[in-house]
């Protein structure tokens, strides 16, 4: 800059003096032509010299391990310091630190211009030396990435400034952190894959049969009936447009809709899931969609479509109500029926019984029948197989079967069969006695209100006249009370226990639809606290209370009973017959039964009069003694069933019927020997 300013000032003076102006441009051109190449070669020599110094440093570090000199110090030794200041060199060094040390190999490798050539007596580096240098650099780089600095890297960086060292350490820390994050992500991904594999392996046992592959659960369609529902919706809309097309006399469209509707009905069939559909269903679905689009363009009228849909909805509701009535009737009818196998068993046993000589028709140990020190059971049934399960389950779970006495009462149709079965299959050392209810001469219409009411014209019309407004054909809500068991005195005989067994003090009443699972002898030692009936209560927060069974709109009921009083269950009841006689329980029953001749106090059945008769005379037992609901409730807790002393199949789904719930049936069938000759001959099986 000083030279430029000097030249400029002399030129100005020359111009001002007015002489030598023609020689000045020539002198300037000659000066710059000589100076420019000199500056160029000095700069090129500087770069090449620095590269040579770095190459020598690398060779010295690998070969002899001598201490290296920083390339700035080598420049100082080559006397180039006057050209660049130390500050400039620091800036260049810091800006190129990330690129690593300069070397001739880097120039050759990057294929720089031919003008960048080494001038002087440098010895060219052969390929072998270059490859060794590259391998050494790779090793150093790998060790540096792991945080291991050896003697070579220490010697190479012995002259680094604190700023460079700090930046290098920061880069290494960032690199190590990134490597750790990547490793952690890799471990987490591996763990997720392993867990997913484990979860999928657990699905093997729960695989649904018919699936193509249990490993493709994610491919399953959650809405497995989406196509079925879409086809049904299309058919509904097709029927709507059919009626509108008929109304507007669109014959071509009407015929097309009818054709597509029939095709969709055939493709849909009885399918309830997409997998059940015919292979032609997607094509029919598409064709129906096209016809519906065409019908919408030609026939759509909001009021008409809304009216047709409302009419269809009303028709569907009416059909649902009708089907519900039919279902109720059929379920009640099924509950009333006797399976062919049980009917066959009863007939075969009856025939064989009456072929026996009279001396072989008697049961042993008849002296135990009136012994009050033994455990007495009352069982009233017309079902031979059900009665055998009750007796067998009780004896198999009893500690000493010789102390148990069973008093069975049946009707005259099953009297022979009941006797024959227990003569052929005696229950261990227990005592058995079978009686015929029709032979109880004292049980007549003059003494028993129920028998008198059953003989009345009103009751006969109620049961047997089909044109009665509350007949079966009308779908009355009282269908369950029309079961023939309510016409049988076997069902009402429970109110006459002291009359049937006058010499007994206590007796355990059992229904024929129960199964005994534990020893019941402890029930005889339960203190009833002066009450007559020991039973398990069935009331919850708002159900199975008195207001569910009795008509509290009647003043007689409302005046004498609490609507929130807790109900209890028949099926397993311990009765104190001494207190029964003192309280005249049978007389109380007769009083209320006479008041209910027109069925205004309660509907038919034995539980409502039982709740009235034993009101404030029932002692609650622990619930584990008697678990109910196996004949109607599919959600009875399994642990309650397992821990119960008695399980009760109350409801229509009796265990001997096809209506029975399969998950509860094994508790009953385990006490039946299906290999018995009589059962095999009647095709009775599990």
Q: What was the pLDDT predicted at 630?
A: 93
Q: How far apart are CA 408 and CA 490, in angstroms?
A: 11
Question: What digits encode the pLDDT tens for the residues 305-321?
Answer: 888 888 888 888 888 88
Q: How far apart are CA 223 and CA 215, in angstroms?
A: 19
Question: What digits encode the pLDDT tens for the residues 438-460?
Answer: 999 998 888 998 888 877 777 66
The H or E element that residue 294 is part of is: helix 281-299
Burial of 138 (0-12, 13-18, 19+ CB in 10 A): exposed
**In sequence order, what are the beta bridge partners of 410?**
436
Q: How far apart are CA 132 and CA 417, in angstroms?
A: 108
Question: What digits encode the pLDDT tens for the residues 199-213?
Answer: 665 554 444 444 334
Q: What was the pLDDT predicted at 194?
A: 74
The H or E element that residue 283 is part of is: helix 281-299
Is 70 exceeded by the pLDDT of residue 473?
Answer: no
Question: What digits encode the pLDDT tens for the residues 576-587?
Answer: 999 999 999 999
- Over residues 373-395, mean pLDDT: 95
The structure tokens listed for 361 are 């028709």
Is 50 exceeded by the pLDDT of residue 430?
Answer: yes
Terminal CA-CA length for the chain:
117
646-648 and 514-516 beta bridge pairing? antiparallel
The structure tokens listed for 461 are 């019309």
Q: Which of 626, 655, 652, 651 is nearest to 641 (CA)?
A: 626
Q: How far apart are CA 557 and CA 559, in angstroms?
A: 5
Is 50 exceeded by the pLDDT of residue 383?
Answer: yes
Least confident stretch, 106-115, 442-451, 499-508, 610-619:
106-115
The H or E element that residue 407 is part of is: strand 404-410
Cite the beta strand spans of 426-495 per DSSP E: 431-436
* Total residues belonging to the chain: 686
Least confident stretch, 135-139, 225-229, 456-460, 545-549:
135-139
pLDDT band at 227; cut points 50, 70, 90: confident
Q: What was the pLDDT predicted at 145?
A: 47
As a whole-number percent, the residues of the chain with pLDDT over 70 amount to 68
The structure tokens listed for 261 are 């509707």
The structure tokens listed for 532 are 């007559």
- Over residues 392-412, mean pLDDT: 95
Is 90 exceeded by the pLDDT of residue 478?
Answer: no
Q: What are the Cα distances from residue 31, in Å, to 4, 28, 83?
A: 12, 5, 20
Which residues lie closer than 8 Å to 456 by C-beta, 6 or more apart?
Answer: 597
Is 70 exceeded by the pLDDT of residue 373?
Answer: yes
Degrees to nearest 5, angle at CA 400 with 398 and 402: 115
The H or E element that residue 166 is part of is: helix 162-202
Handedness of CA 457, 462, 468, 469 (dihedral sign): positive
Degrees to nearest 5, angle at CA 336 with 333 and 339: 105
Is 60 exceeded by the pLDDT of residue 101?
Answer: no
Q: What was the pLDDT predicted at 162?
A: 86
Does the pTM exceed 0.85? no
Mean model confidence pLDDT for the chain = 77
- Over residues 420-430, mean pLDDT: 93
Cite the beta strand spans of 572-632 per DSSP E: 572-576, 618-620, 626-627
551: three-class secondary structure by DSSP: coil
- Over residues 461-471, mean pLDDT: 54
pLDDT band at 323; cut points 50, 70, 90: confident
Q: Biggest alpha carbon distance in the chain?
A: 173
Helices (H), 360-448: 384-396, 415-424
The larger pLDDT score, comparing residue 100 to residue 591, is at 591
Q: What was the pLDDT predicted at 36?
A: 56
Q: Which of 576, 572, 580 is nearest to 507 (CA)?
A: 576
509: three-class secondary structure by DSSP: strand
- Over residues 72-87, mean pLDDT: 49
Highest mean pLDDT among 150-164, 284-298, 388-402, 471-485: 388-402
- Over residues 140-168, mean pLDDT: 58
Matching residue, tokens 């002399």: 10
Helices and strands counted in the chain (H then E): 27, 10
- Over residues 527-541, mean pLDDT: 89
Q: What was the pLDDT predicted at 534?
A: 96
């Amino acid at each position: 800059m000083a030279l430029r300013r000097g030249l400029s000032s002399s030129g100005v003076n020359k111009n001002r003096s007015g002489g030598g102006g023609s020689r000045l441009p020539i002198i300037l051109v000659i000066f710059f032509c000589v100076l420019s190449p000199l500056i160029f070669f000095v700069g090129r020599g500087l770069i090449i010299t620095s590269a040579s110094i770095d190459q020598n440093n690398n060779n010295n570090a690998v070969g002899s391990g001598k201490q290296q000199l920083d390339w700035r110090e080598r420049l100082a030794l080559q006397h180039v310091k006057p050209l660049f200041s130390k500050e400039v060199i620091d800036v260049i060094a810091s800006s190129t630190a990330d690129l690593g040390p300069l070397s001739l190999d880097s120039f050759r490798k990057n294929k720089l211009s031919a003008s960048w050539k080494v001038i002087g007596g440098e010895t060219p580096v052969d390929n072998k030396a270059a490859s060794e240098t590259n391998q050494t650099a790779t090793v150093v780089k790998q060790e540096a990435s792991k945080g291991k600095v050896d003697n070579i890297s220490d010697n190479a960086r012995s002259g680094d400034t604190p700023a460079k060292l700090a930046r290098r350490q920061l880069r290494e820390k960032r690199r190590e952190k990134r490597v750790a994050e990547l490793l952690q992500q890799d471990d987490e991904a591996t763990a997720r894959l392993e867990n997913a594999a484990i979860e999928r392996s657990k699905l093997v046992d729960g695989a649904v049969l018919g699936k193509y592959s249990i490993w493709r659960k994610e491919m399953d369609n959650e809405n497995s009936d989406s196509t079925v529902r879409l086809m049904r919706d299309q058919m509904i809309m097709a029927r709507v447009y059919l009626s509108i097309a008929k109304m507007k006399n669109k014959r071509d469209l009407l015929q097309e809709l009818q054709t597509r509707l029939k095709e969709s009905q055939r493709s849909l069939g009885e399918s309830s899931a997409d997998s059940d559909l015919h292979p032609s269903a997607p094509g029919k679905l598409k064709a129906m969609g096209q016809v519906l689009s065409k019908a919408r363009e030609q026939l759509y009228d909001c009021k008409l479509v809304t009216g047709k849909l409302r009419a269809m909805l009303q028709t569907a509701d009416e059909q649902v109500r009708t089907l519900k009535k039919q279902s109720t009737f059929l379920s009640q009818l099924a509950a009333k029926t006797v399976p062919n196998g049980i009917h066959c068993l009863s007939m075969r046993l009856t025939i064989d019984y009456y072929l026996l000589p009279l001396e072989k028709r008697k049961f042993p140990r008849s002296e135990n029948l009136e012994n009050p020190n033994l455990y007495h059971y009352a069982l009233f049934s017309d079902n031979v197989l059900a009665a055998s399960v009750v007796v067998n389950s009780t004896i198999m779970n009893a500690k000493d079967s010789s102390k148990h006495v069973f008093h069975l009462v049946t009707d005259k149709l099953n009297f022979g069969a009941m006797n024959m079965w227990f003569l052929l299959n005696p229950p261990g050392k227990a005592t058995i006695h079978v009686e015929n209810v029709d032979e109880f001469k004292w049980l007549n219409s003059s003494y028993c209100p129920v028998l008198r009411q059953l003989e009345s014209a009103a009751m006969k019309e109620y049961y047997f006249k089909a044109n009665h407004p509350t007949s079966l054909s009308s779908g009355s809500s009282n269908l369950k009370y029309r079961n023939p068991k309510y016409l049988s005195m076997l069902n009402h005989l429970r109110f006459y226990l002291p009359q049937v067994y006058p010499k007994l003090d206590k007796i355990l009443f059992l229904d024929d639809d129960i199964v005994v699972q534990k020893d019941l002898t402890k029930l005889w030692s339960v203190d009833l606290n002066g009450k007559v009936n020991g039973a398990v209560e069935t009331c919850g927060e708002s159900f199975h209370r008195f207001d569910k069974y009795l008509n509290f709109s009647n003043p007689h009921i409302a005046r004498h009973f609490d609507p929130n009083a807790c109900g209890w269950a028949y099926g397993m009841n311990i009765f104190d017959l001494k207190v029964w006689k003192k309280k005249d329980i049978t007389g109380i029953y007769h009083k209320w039964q006479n008041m209910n001749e027109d069925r205004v106090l309660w509907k038919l059945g034995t539980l409502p009069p039982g709740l009235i008769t034993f009101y404030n005379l029932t002692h609650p037992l622990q619930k584990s003694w008697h678990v109910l609901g196996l004949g109607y409730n599919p959600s009875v807790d399994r642990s309650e069933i397992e821990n119960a002393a008695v399980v009760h199949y109350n409801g229509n789904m009796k265990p001997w019927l096809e209506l029975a719930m399969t998950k509860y049936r094994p508790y009953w069938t385990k006490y039946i020997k299906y290999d018995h000759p009589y059962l095999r001959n009647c095709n009775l099986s599990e």
